[in-house]
Amino acid sequence: MGYEVNYNELDYAQAGEICQQVAHDINDVVDALANASQTADRCEADMNLQCMVSGIGARGYSVGILGDLIRKGYHQAREGEIQAFELTGKVSEAMRNYEAAEAAVERMMLTSTRSVLIGDFISKTRENGWRPPRENMQTFLRLLMTYMPHWRFNTDRTLNDQIEGVTKFLSQTIKGLGPNRNTEVELTQQDPEQTVEVDGKLTSYFQLHEMLEGKGTENNGKIMIVQADPDTYLALFPGTQNDLDVPSPFGLEGIADGFGLESENFVDPLDEALEISGAKEGDEVILSGYSQGGIHVAQLMKNKFLKHKYKMNKVLTLGSPIGNIDLPEDVRSLHVEDRKDMVPGTDGTANPNKNQQYTTTFPGPREQMNGILPEDGLFGPPHNLKNYGDHLLELDQEPKTEIREHLKNFYLPEPLVKIRMFRLERKEKKRPPLKEEDKERLNQVAPPH
Amino acid sequence: MMFQATLLSVASQLDDAQKTTKFAIAQLGSIRTLTWNSKVGKAFLDNVNELSERLEMLTGELSNAEEYLGIAMREIQNLEAQIMDQRMAS
- ipTM value: 0.91
Record: contact A36-B3, CB cut-off 8 A: no
Is the pLDDT reported for residue A60 higher than 80?
no
Q: Are residues A189 and A298 in the same domain?
A: yes
Beta bridge mates, A425: A186
Residues of A in contact with B23 (CB under 8 A): 25
Nearest partner of A253 among A154, A344, A157, A185, judged by Cα: A185
Domain that includes residue A21, residue range: 9-105
- Which one of A56, A60, A91 has the shortest CB-CB distance to B76? A60
Residue A236 sits in a domain whose CATH number is 3.40.50
In a domain, A131, yes or no: no
pLDDT of residue A2: 35
The span from the CA of A168 to the CA of A177, in Å, is: 14
In a domain, A193, yes or no: yes
Nearest partner of A74 among B42, B61, B1, B31, judged by Cα: B61
Record: contact A18-B83, CB cut-off 8 A: no
pLDDT (tens digit per residue) in A92-102:
888 887 777 77
The span from the CA of A63 to the CA of A41, in Å, is: 7
In a domain, A370, yes or no: yes
pLDDT of residue A342: 93
Domain count within chain A: 2
Record: contact A32-B16, CB cut-off 8 A: yes
Give the gap in angstroms from C-alpha A73 to the nearest C-alpha of chain B. 6
The span from the CA of A413 to the CA of A340, in Å, is: 33
Containing A444, the helix (H) or strand (E) segment is helix A436-444
The span from the CA of B23 to the CA of B52, in Å, is: 11
Pick the residue of B8, B9, B12, B14 with the most A CBs within 10 A to test the interface with A by mutation: B14
Among A50, A77, A105, give the residue marking a domain's end: A105
pLDDT of residue A62: 87
Record: contact B71-A62, CB cut-off 8 A: yes
DSSP string for A272-311: HHHHHTT--TT-EEEEEEETHHHHHHHHHTT-HHHHHHSE
- Which one of A39, A62, A76 has the shortest CB-CB distance to B58? A76
DSSP string for A77-126: HHHHHHHHHHHHHHHHHHHHHHHHHHHHHHHHHHHHTHHHHHHHHHHHHH
Q: Are residues A98 and A235 in the same domain?
A: no
The span from the CA of A55 to the CA of A49, in Å, is: 10
pLDDT (tens digit per residue) in A340-362:
999 999 988 889 888 899 999 99
Cβ contact A23:A78 at 8 Å = no
Angle between helices A62-112 and B39-89 (to 10 degrees): 160
Q: Are residues A208 and A95 in the same domain?
A: no
Residues of B in contact with A58 (CB under 8 A): 79, 82
What's the one-letter identity of residue A302? Answer: K
pLDDT of residue A1: 36
Nearest partner of A263 among A208, A223, A205, A214, judged by Cα: A223
Nearest partner of B69 among A64, A12, A175, A423, judged by Cα: A64
- Which one of A40, A55, A65 has the shortest CB-CB distance to B10? A40
Give the gap in angstroms from C-alpha A22 to the nearest C-alpha of chain B. 5
pLDDT of residue A403: 87
